Amino acid sequence: MSTTTSANGADEIIRLENVYKIFGPQPRGRALKLAKDGLTKNEVQAATDHVVGMTDVSFEVKRGETFVLMGLSGSGKSTAIRTVNKLHDITDGKVLVDGTDVQRLEGQDLQKFRQKMGMVFQHFALFPHRSVIDNTGYGLKVQGVDKDQRDKASLEALNLVGLGAFANSSPSELSGGMQQRVGLARALASDPDVLLMDEAFSALDPLIRRQMQDEMMAIQAELQKTILFITHDLNEALRIGDRVCIMKDGAIVQVGTPDEILTKPATGYVAEFVQDVDQGRVIDVSTVMTQPVKVDRSMSAKDLLTAIGDDGGFVVDSDGRPTELVMAKDVYSAATNGDGLGAAFSAEFDTTTADAKFNHVYAHAGKGKILAVTDGDGKLVGVLKPKDMIEEMGRVESLIDGFEREVFM
Partner 1 sequence: MSHSIRSIAYIAAQADETAEEVAETPGFFDNAWLDGFQFHFGEWIKQIVDWTDQNLQLPIEIIKWPFDFLFELLMSTDPGRTAIMDIPWFWVAIFFFIIGSAVRNVKVGLASAVMVATCGLLGPDYWSETTKTFGMVFISVLLCALIGVPLGILCGRKDAVWNVVRPVLDAMQVVHPFVYMLPFIFFWKIGEVSATMATMVFALPPMVRLTNLGVRQVPDDVVEASRSYGASERRVLTDVQIPLARPAIMTGLNQTLLLAISMLGIAALMGAGGLGKLLLRAINSQNLPLAASGGLAFFLVAVVLDRISQRESDDGLGLFGRIREAWTYRADPEGLLAAKAERSAESAAAAAVEAAAAEAANVGGDERPAPVSARERMGLLLAALGGIAAMVSVFLPWGSDSGLVSAWGRRSDETGLVGQSFTGFEATGGSVFAIIVLLLGLLAAAAAIRPLVTIGDGLPRLFARIQGVMFALLGAGAVLVWVLNILNVNFRPLLDIGLIIFAIAAVAIMADIWTQGTRRLGADGALIAGAGAFGSALGYLLLRPSSFVESYSHGVGAYLAVAATAAVVIGGLIAVLAAPYQTRRPFKLSISWPLVAGAVLGLTIIGIGSISAWLIDQRLDSLITPEIQAEIERLEEEAGDDINKQLANGQAITNLINSARAGTSPTFNSLAPEGPGLGIPAIALAVLAALGVLVASGLLGGDERRRWIGATLAAGFGLAALVIPAAWILSFTRSAEPQAITGAGSIITLTGAFALFAAGRSVVGEFVRRKVYSDSPGRSVADDVDIALDGGGSMADADLVGSGTP
- Contacting residues toward partner 1, per CB under 8 A: 82, 85, 87, 108, 111-115, 117-119, 121-123, 125-129, 138-139, 142-143, 160-163, 174-178, 181, 186, 190, 196, 205, 207-208, 211, 214-215, 218-219, 222
Q: Report the nearest approach of partner 1 to the CB of residue 90 (Å).
A: 16
CB of 117 to partner 1, least distance (A): 7
Q: Smallest distance from the beta carbon of 218 to partner 1, in angstroms? A: 5
Residue 115 or residue 287: which is nearer to partner 1 going by CB?
Answer: 115
Closest approach, Cβ 104 to partner 1, in A, equals: 17
| Smaller CB separation from partner 1, 192 or 256 | 192
CA distance 367 to 71: 39
Q: What angle do CA 180, 185, 186 make, to 5 degrees?
A: 95
Identify which of residues 221 and 347 has a Cβ nearer to partner 1 in the complex.
221
Query: Count of CB atoms within 10 A of residue 299's CB?
Result: 18
Q: How far is the CB of 145 from partner 1 (least distance, A)?
A: 12
- Residue among 61 and 196 whose Cβ is closer to partner 1: 196
Q: Which is nearer to partner 1, 208 or 293 (CB)?
A: 208
The DSSP 8-state label assigned to residue 91 in this structure reads S
What are the residue ranges of helices labelled H in 234-281? 234-240, 258-263, 268-275
How far is the CA of 234 from the CAs of 53, 274, 285, 403, in angstroms?
A: 21, 8, 20, 19
Cβ proximity of 233 and 202 under 8 Å: yes
Residue 20 carries which DSSP code? E
Amino acid 182 reads V
DSSP structure string for 174-195 = S-HHHHHHHHHHHHHHT--SEE
Residue 386 CB, shortest distance to partner 1, in Å, is 36
- State which residue, 208 or 356, has the beta carbon closest to partner 1: 208
